[in-house]
Each structure stands twice: as structure tokens, then as C-alpha cells.
Amino acid sequence: MTADSRPRTALDLTAMKAAGRRIVMLTCYDALFARLLDSPDVDVLLVGDSVNQVLAGQDTTLSATLDQMIYHAAAVRRATRMLVFVDLPFLTYQVSVEDAIRNAGRVMQQTGANGVKLEGGEAMAPTVSALVERGIPVMGHIGLTPQSVHALGGYRVQGREADAATRLLADAPALEAAGACAVVLELVPAALAKRISESLTVPTIGIGAGSACDGQVLVLHDMLGLNELFEPKFLKRYAELGRTVREAAHAFADDVRSGRYPDAAHSFE
């Protein structure tokens, strides 16, 4: 770990769990926000395929492309030297291990990211292992996996039924054994997330998975109150920037229409 205690490699995440230090992760899609977040307060930036919904206006993450993820991840990397992980989009790693290696390698090569994240449990363990063996750090993701939203019956909590909980309890150690450096738990009952977290050496990072995870992640725009229509139970807003943006636009429009802007102070002689 460096002097400011921020992680610089994927191995630092396991060290943070061993030290009992909670991991703070936020999604980020552009250089402007990456620069603002580049401080010891945040440990990891995730360039999530949620960009397809948050910035591109799509209903799901499914139509996100590899080029799209590379574009946003490269922008984030240009503005920060902190730990950056990138989501591999739908069908860039599920078809074959060879595809996964090629596409994850392209992400690493063209963005300068520190690792990739992919969805799925035991079934994806061979892919995770193949990537790790080739020097590509991998973060796993189980529970509600947005790329499988149609198969899961929508965006709902996973692991409430006994058989589903059993699967998650098997998925997490399978990912760890394959070499994953961390596992995201999304929309998982808090008690189950606690059991999973306690069973692993690598950290869990929760979103809608209770307080016992080794870290937490939120979508930056949700946390800032910019995505006003998104109000899930797990989300805590730390600002109301959506309201601020509207108020600023109203003030600007009022100044323009009244002739108050631009005034002499904002004009050139």
C-alpha cells in the first residue's frame, strides 16, 4: 500500500480485508468525475456497463459494447492513477474462454485499467482462471447480475430461497478458487452476504447486500441524486445534484432573457 493508503494493485484489496479496512468503490464513466474522485477517500473506480443506462438512456446493460467500455475506461484512466476496474459487457466473455481472453486483454491494453469485472459464479470459474493465468486481475459479480436480468425475472433480490442461497454459497468460493481478487454481491439478503463474506479470503463488495460486506459500491450518479427516477431501497443519496442542475439552468435562462447575462464582468472590451 502507498503512503496515502490507497490500493494500487488488485492484491491490495485482499490486504485491505485482512487489515479490516472497508473498501470504497464508486462507478465512474468520465475524466471529469474521475478527477474529482481522485483522493484517498475512494479506493476503486469501476467503469460499469451501467453507463449504457445512466448516460446512454438504455433500459438495460445488454446493448453495451466493448468499444463503449474502452472509450469510457480510457477517459477515466487519463484523469486518475487510482485503482480502476472495467466491466466486460454482455457476450464479450460468455461465448468462449478465447473470446474472454482476447476482449479482456484488449480492455487492459487500450485503457490502462488494473483489471476487469465479469458476472457469474461457478460456471464462469474456468474463464476467471484463464484470465488470471494470463495476468489479468478479475473481480467477480454474483447475486443480481444485470446481464442476466431477463433470466432472473427482473431486478430483484437473489438468494432468498434455499436453493438460490446454496448456489450463491457455492459460487463465491468457486470464484475465489479461480483467482478472483474480489466479489461483488448485488441484491443479496444481508445475512447471506455476511455468510459469504466470512467464508472468503478475498473481499466482498456489496450493493444492496447489507453492511457485513468488506466494501460497498454505488453508482456515482445515483449517489449524487442525478438519477432522480432511480429510488431502490438500498440507495442512500449523499447529494441532490439533480435539483441543483435544474435550479442552475433556470437561473441561467432567467439571466439570459432579462439581459443580466452576460454583463460587463463577463464580456471583453
CA–CA separation, 84 and 46 (whole Å): 6
Backbone angles phi, psi at 25, to 5 degrees: -125, 135
Catalytic residue among 122, 176, 186, 231: 186
Taking the C-alpha atoms of 100, 101, 102 and 108 in order, what is their torsion angle to the nearest 10 degrees? 100
CA angle 183, 185, 190 (to 5 degrees): 130
Give the span between the Cα atoms of 190 and 212, in whole angstroms: 7
The interaxial angle of helices 125-133 and 162-178, nearest 10 deg, is 20
DSSP calls for 60-101: SSTT--HHHHHHHHHHHHHH--SEEEEEPPTTSSSS-HHHHH
Q: How far apart are the first and last CA of the chain?
A: 53
CA 247 to chain centre: 29
Q: What grid cell was written down for 120?
A: 457469474
Measured between alpha carbons, how far is residue 42 from residues 20, 177, 217 in Å? 16, 27, 10
Q: How far apart are CA 225 and CA 241, in angstroms?
A: 5
Catalytic annotation on 186? yes
110 Cβ contact list (under 8 Å, min separation 6) = 70, 74
Point out the residues that are catalytic. Answer: 186
